[in-house]
Structure 1
Amino acid sequence: MAAAPAPTVRPVILGGDIGAYATARTFHEAYGVRSVVLAGVSTWQVARSVAVDHRVVPSLSRPDRLVATLREVVAERPEVTHLLLASADWYVDALVAHRAELEAMPGRVVVPYAGAEALDRIGDKGSFTALCRELGLPVPETVVVRAPDGPAAAAGLRFPVVVKASSTTAYHAVSFPGQQKVDRATDPTALATVLARIAGAGFDGDLLVQEEIPGPDSEMAAVNLFFDADGTWRFAQYGRVLLEEHTPGALGNSVAQVTGVHRGVVDQARRLLEHVGWRGFANVDLKRDPRDGVHRFLEVNPRVGRSGYAVTASGYDISRMYVDGFVTQTGGSAQVAGAGTGDGVVGTNEHLFHVLPLPLVRRYVDDADAALVRRLVRSGRATNPLLYLAERDPRRWAAVAAAQLNQVRKFARYHPKQRPRAT
């Protein structure tokens, strides 16, 4: 598809992961613009890309450094609208905390995120769980503890359990050997070990201890939603996960997902976010409990995640939603056929999003999902955001190829499926 006439918008994306690259690719495909991507270190995901002006900024996570850097970037082109985006929760928090200062810069600067109060209610996993209960939305059995409390604080829960920090931003601020995004404990002794390790690192924030919902990766799901600057719901789409990451630092990240339809879950997610007055994108993580078939709410990412490119790939363009909803404020964010419901669209297009080589996806899913993958690939409805044909630098393609091969090693080492079947 040819790029549309470029609006006077310049995306600035904080963070250098696959999600940052996928967002930059979306804007480049739709409008032919390059996004400025700021990161603390150089990363292969965004380096040498036709869609990215990659800038390494040491100590970018420091608020003063972040604001000063954004001021310099905006001053380069004060005649355009700068759309400030983030690929990690802590960067979202920083943008919202400094919204007034950022939006007062010369020219027009837009921070397309919800307010601090809504972020606190959704972003803090303890508050989120309480909010879901208040609204009658299903969640896993959960207790909130502090690491020094020990396993007795989780008495009454059935093992195995998972342990995760209530605040992703606060947990990101500490670093210690054995640190994982999510820990798992099969009994009270294992839970004691996990809590002791976290306490020993000096982390004194809230932790969630939740009963683990059984079932493989394919029971996971996500709903992507978009609300415009006025808080009007414009778009939502359900996606069923096929595979997740299992490396300790990235556990739970979706690496293969199929978009589809589940109206009941979409309606629940929309009701949750409307209740807090949401703005911009959100990615709601759920898991279907095979014991009763109920999707239980796990958390909300207050931004476009790496699997957010599934929305664009399936025909509902993320960049156009941002531009229509926050820059030109003309609404009409989806602009393609879907299940319309008054002011918004529910995405219905089926598409495979993946960041793994397709043979690896087929190897680690069950027979039914392997057949689904083959069908979508044959019909041209499968997209890996890293394989962008507009890229021309051979060094970038070499880095992408090396990363794809590295996935084979990672899955062989970390995926719980001991004997993957041959493709």
Structure 2
Amino acid sequence: MKRLQPVVLGGDIGAYSLARSFHEAYGVTPVVVSGMSTGLVRHSRILRHVAEPRIDDPEAIVARLREIAAEHADADLLVVGSADWLVRLLVENRDRLEDLYTVPYVEEKLLHRLTDKEGFGDLCAELGVAHPTTVVHQFAGQDAGGEPDTSGLTFPVIAKAASTAAYHEVEFAGKKKVFLVESRDELTDLLERVRAAGYTGTFVIQDYIPGDDSGMRILTCYSDAEGKVRFSAFGHVLLEEHTPGALGNPAGIITQTEREVVAQATRLLEHVGWTGFANFDLKYDPRDGRYVFFELNPRLGRSNFYITAAGANAVRFYVHEHLRGLDPDPRAVLGPDVALSAAGELEGRHLYTVLPGPLLRRYVLDPSVRADARRLARRRRSTNPLWYRAETDPRRIAYLCLAQLNQWRKYARHYPLAEARRLAWRGPASTGQV
């Protein structure tokens, strides 16, 4: 059997988390390819970083991946992406990579259909899966232009690109992943700025679900090569990131179970024949007690380590089925000690956070949830993916200490505690609706 050589595209915390998961599971040194050296991967002793300044260019990244493959001709090569646009790049260039690499993602047509928020919304409507009321605005084509009909919505509303991969390619002043739009005039101005930036996809304008960050949920499912869901991990998001570039990404998660949500996701995934990992963003709607599905990410998400931290190292599924050709029975993949239901749902409770504990708990306004987070931390059932005992370089440790201190400044600037309290007790919704 050849040795395993993972290659991870991306330089964010999701990419580092994937590299750490591979290192923990198999003792290997993943190659991480990103546009530049970031503090998250710099001075790491568990990975080898490769800078590719033209990572946005398919020709450049294919050439770079083939160059890396030549350096590891004796290995089984597996390549994964830490963002939707990177996964899309891999899928669209699969025919130029699969002679060297295993690319563990769905085929291109299905990828585009379900990662487009409009297409995902249509599928939810077809299957009776809860999804926000949505208006679609076209920036190109026969139906482009004009004012979107928002008569069925009440301001404020959420506005965001239908395709995060296509949106990645444009820049404009004030760009965010998701916009909270207070009025019709503000929406008109936003859409004009997006159009002027050259974005030619679609924007979705959605109902604004009441509640703060703690109303958000996350679900990750793994489907086998036959399209059957075999594993799932559900989590309660306690707090999200609030800097413009990372808005909506979970900063704290407690794993738990929610079988009805898993059943809905299973129905959706098996209906289309999805394979591999799918990551869903959801929110609890207090108006009717439903969990509302927002979107599907075709990969392990940015906060993927919430699964590994709870005892279920997710990257083992890639290796077990895609590389070794074995049946991905969760018990066989994850081992006998992982808390799993008979249907493959992760049952262990664990706190995942990228923040200092006191900062996270400061923003968790529900006393019972705050106590739960504190209890898990005291029982050492809490994990920050960046703090890893195998990382012993003092320069990295110094960087992480400063970065954790900087989290206090970032939250004070971008999400003052008074704003969090307003959204929790009076306001209509969280900007985490992505």
> TM-score per shorter chain, which class?
over 0.9
Query: Where does residue 353 of structure 2 map in the other structure?
Result: 354
Normalised to the residue count of structure 2, the TM-score between the two structures is 0.91
Aligned mate of 1:61, from 46, 52, 56:
56
Q: Give the percent of matched residue pairs that are identical in Structure 1 and Structure 2.
A: 48
Q: 1:282 aligns with which of 278, 302, 319?
A: 278
Say whether the 8 Å CA contact 2:13–2:303 is kept in structure 1. Answer: no
Within 5 Å, give how 1:151-230 maps onto structure 2: 151-230=147-226
- Deviation per residue, 1:284-313 (Å, 9 max, x gap): 000110111101110111111122111111
For 1:419 and 1:118, the matched residues in 2 are separated by 39
Letter in 2 for 1:381: R
Which residue of structure 1 aligns with residue 393 of structure 2? 393
Q: Which residue of the other structure, out of 337, 340, 358, is the alignment partner of 1:338? A: 340
CA gap of 1:419–1:286, structure 2 versus 1, over 3 A, is closer
Aligned pairs for 1:127-146 (under 5 A) are 127-146=119-138
Distance in 1 (CA, whole Å) between partners of 2:197 and 2:22 is 40
Other-structure match for 1:409: 409
The CA distance in 1 between the partners of 2:95 and 2:227, in whole Å, is 19
CA distance in 2, matches of 1:13, 1:299: 23
CA distance in 2, matches of 1:290, 1:417: 22
Structure 2 residue identity aligned to 1:377 = A
Q: Name the counterpart of 2:425.
A: none
Unaligned stretches of 5+ in structure 2? 422-434
Find out whether 1:81 has 2:76 as its counterpart. Answer: yes
Q: Match for 2:10 among 11, 15, 20?
A: 15
* Cα distance in 2, alignment partners of residues 263 and 419 from structure 1: 33
Inter-CA distance 291–420: structure 2 relative to 1 (3 Å threshold): closer
Structure 2 residue identity aligned to 1:219: G
Contact 1:234 1:334 survives alignment (8 Å): no
1:161 positional shift = 0.6
Equivalent position of 1:379 in the other structure: 379
* Structure 1 unmatched runs, 5+: 1-5
CA contact (8 A) 1:96 1:115 kept: yes
Say if 1:150 and 1:192, in contact at 8 Å, map to a contact too: no
Residue identity in the other structure for 1:301: N
- Between 1:387-396 and 1:149-158, the stretch displaced more is 149-158
- Could you tell me how far apart the structure 1 residues matched to 2:348 and 2:145 are? 47
**Aligned-partner Cα distance in 1 for 2:66–2:391:** 29
Q: Do 1:151 and 1:188's aligned partners in 2 also have CA atoms closer than 8 Å? A: no
CA-CA distance at 1:78 after TM superposition: 1.5
Distance 2:148 2:104 in 1: 42
Take 1:256 and 1:412, find their aligned partners in 2: how far apart are those partners? 17
- Root-mean-square deviation (CA, aligned residues, Å) is 1.6
1:124 maps to which of 106, 113, 116 = 116
User: Could you tell me how far apart the structure 2 residues matched to 1:398 and 1:49 are?
Assistant: 12
Amino acid at match of 2:342: G
Cα offset, 1:416, TM superposition = 5.0
Determine the C-alpha separation between the residues in 1 that align with 2:420 and 2:186: 28
Report how far residue 329 of structure 1 moved. 2.3
Deviation (angstroms), 1:83: 0.6
Bigger shift: 280-289 or 411-420? 411-420
Aligned to 2:432: none
In structure 1, what residue type is equivalent to 2:377? V
What CA deviation, in whole Å up to 9, does each residue of 1:307-344 have, x standing for no partner? 21111110111121211121112223333331012xxx
Q: CA deviation at 1:413?
A: 1.0
Structure 2 partner of 1:112: 104
**Distance in 1 between the 2:269 and 2:2 partners?**
29
Residues 313 and 334 in structure 2, CA contact (< 8 A), matched pair in contact too = yes
CA distance in 1, matches of 2:250, 2:127: 27
Q: Deviations over 1:163-185 (max 9, x none)?
A: 11111111111111111111111
User: CA shift at 1:42, angstroms?
Assistant: 0.9
Contact 2:229/2:269 (<8 A) preserved: no
Q: Distance in 1 between matches of 2:71 and 2:83?
A: 25
